[in-house]
Structure 1
Amino acid sequence: MHAKTDSEVTSLDASSSTRSPRRAVYYVQSPSHDGEKTTTSLHSTPVLSPMGSPPHSHSSSSRFSASRHRNNHNNKSWKGIDVIEEEGLLQSELDRQHSLSRRYYFLAFLLGFFLLFSLFSLILWCASRPMKPKILIKSIKFDHLRVQAGSDSSGVATDMITMNSTVKFTYRNTGTFFGVHVTSTPFDLSYSDIVIATGNLKKFYQSRKSQRLVSVAVMGNKIPLYGGGASLSSSTGVPTLPVPLNLTFVIRSRAYVLGRLVKPKYYKRVQCSINLDPKKINVPISLKHSCTYD
């Protein structure tokens, strides 16, 4: 082989350039040692043109892809955390709303129950009001009556009266679904506005739609009459003329319709005019037509 001249190299380069316009190939000369002769040979060592890719492009792309993968992974992780936090906040809000709803339902239930119970109690109260107890004073009997001279606690001389009597009346509970507890004010028997005898009713309970006969002892012991006793005194100690008396008291009834929540009260004021005939001692005196009821 003979060494190519510079003109041949140039011609070869021109022909190569003509055949491959898009990618040029360059050749460099490198010395070659053949025995003692030093020749110059051409080794076709291709050198990429600037249009080609650099040798390190593959590793750069790999690093870029890994970096983008890590960024995508990090973004997905943050997105996952955001989703979890958002789901936690949403669940917390739902729990709070559920708790508020239960409270509202409970309060609404209490309010509705209170309104219904109040309405029911009002109905019971209105239904029980017309069912007033009926009271009828039957008679009074004077067991003992005596007027005698004496003196009061301060030593003032005056006529004094002592008497024992018994008042009887019937009490009827007209309530169809409740019983009543009955009390009264003192039974006062008066003469000329002076209370000469008094009695107390013993408290009792009357069941529904029932009645009873009640007796009350009305007594007075040495009650001073002062100037009003002149017409009552006699040698025997018993009045000779009829004695006008007044009997007054108030019957109080309380019904427990619904325990102690619905308990209507009934009051009956009774006033009786009595004409005591000394000849009728120990004889019951009818009061059926001598009393008023308010």
Structure 2
Amino acid sequence: MHTKTDSEVTSLDASSTTRSPRRPAYYVQSPSHDGEKTTTSFHSTPVISPMGSPPHSHSSSSRFSGSRKINNHRNNNNNNNKHWKDIDVIEEEGLLQSQDHHHSLTRRYYFLAFVLGFFLLFTLFSLILWGASRPMKPHITIKSIKFDHVRVQAGSDATGVATDMITVNSTVKFTYRNKGTFFGVHVTSTPLDLSYSDIIIGTGNMKKFYQSRKSERLVNVAVMGSKIPLYGSGAGLSSTTGMPTLPVPLKLNFEIRSRAYVLGRLVKPKYYKRIHCSVVFDPKKINVSVSLKNSCTYD
């Protein structure tokens, strides 16, 4: 039996070492893209499992596609969040605009209601004042008339017609009392006409005045006429002295107008009083006041 020497043993071990079987090589299949067509290619570089078993790792393209899906999902979530945030902002702005519009309409309605209410209340208040002022008509009393001078003489009118002519100088007195408790009045009058047989022989103009509330005054008005033609009516008045010898019936007519300013110029009731007096001129009572308290009517 042949015994192997140490050198042979050593050479055998070395050869066994060099001739040890190779570990299997595995190849990774990855898709390659060329335009719109997809082909499959094999990489020549082997991937060797460290433990000699087939590798189980994923390719880089798979990891890339996975991460891209994650990123796309995150981007979609972010976009969705932004979209909903934009919708929330738009809805909030719409609500704010709707509220502002509602408040604007409400303020406008309140303003219109205030104006209308104020107008109605003011009108009602004015009507109340007007109604309350109507019974407070001024009170007028004709007191007397005094003839200072009366003379009848022959003459002619502006056309040269001969006729009797009369000259009168007299004074009429009356009292004016404002019964208004919360307003004054402005008083005017038509001319005071003194007539004989429908012929005006004397005229007087009262000066306008203001009468405060709940007050009274005595008014004097001069009624005069100078050389008024009497034509055929003066036959019974003429005398040698120029003074009528018999009582002469006369009439006094005028109208007093009063205007009250209760509420400025908005409420201003008016009062009219027409006065008719029967006057008798007595030649024996010259320069004497003749009472007219029971000789006048008031319309």
What TM-score results when the alignment is normalised by the length of structure 2?
Answer: 0.80
Give the corresponding residue for 1:164.
Answer: 169
Give the corresponding residue for 1:101.
Answer: 106
Q: Deviations over 1:39-60 (max 9, x none)?
A: 79452345789xx886232221
Shift of 1:75: 2.2
Give the corresponding residue for 2:84.
Answer: 79
Secondary structure at the residue paired with 1:43? coil
| 2: CA distance, partners of 1:150 / 1:44 | 170
Shift of 1:98: 1.1
Name which of 135, 145, 151 aligns with 1:130.
135
Tell me, yes or no, if structure 1 residue 43 matches structure 2 residue 48: no
Secondary structure at the residue paired with 2:243? coil
| 1: CA distance, partners of 2:229 / 2:186 | 36
Secondary structure at the residue paired with 1:198? strand
Tell me, yes or no, if structure 1 residue 66 matches structure 2 residue 71: yes
Name which of 108, 111, 125 aligns with 2:116.
111
| 1: CA distance, partners of 2:285 / 2:173 | 17
| 1: CA distance, partners of 2:161 / 2:197 | 19
Tell me, yes or no, if structure 1 residue 210 matches structure 2 residue 215: yes
Secondary structure at the residue paired with 1:239? coil
Secondary structure at the residue paired with 2:66? helix
Q: RMSD of the TM alignment (CA)?
A: 2.2
| 1: CA distance, partners of 2:57 / 2:170 | 139
Q: Deviations over 1:195-217 (max 9, x none)?
A: 11000111111111111111100
Aligned residues with identical type, % of pairs: 69
Tell me, yes or no, if structure 1 residue 275 matches structure 2 residue 280: yes
Name which of 185, 209, 230 aligns with 1:225.
230
What TM-score results when the alignment is normalised by the length of structure 1?
Answer: 0.82
| 2: CA distance, partners of 1:156 / 1:43 | 170
Give the corresponding residue for 1:254.
Answer: 259
Q: Deviations over 1:165-202 (max 9, x none)?
A: 00001111111111111111100001111111000111
Name which of 124, 146, 150 aligns with 2:151.
146
Structure 2: unaligned runs, 5 residues or longer: 1-13, 30-55
Partner AA of 2:23 in structure 1? H
Structure 1: unaligned runs, 5 residues or longer: 1-33
Shift of 1:85: 2.1
Partner AA of 1:186 in structure 2? P
Partner AA of 2:221 in structure 1? V
| 2: CA distance, partners of 1:252 / 1:243 | 30
Shift of 1:80: 1.7
| 2: CA distance, partners of 1:101 / 1:224 | 78
Shift of 1:242: 1.5
| 2: CA distance, partners of 1:87 / 1:158 | 103
Aligned residues: 258
Shift of 1:248: 0.4
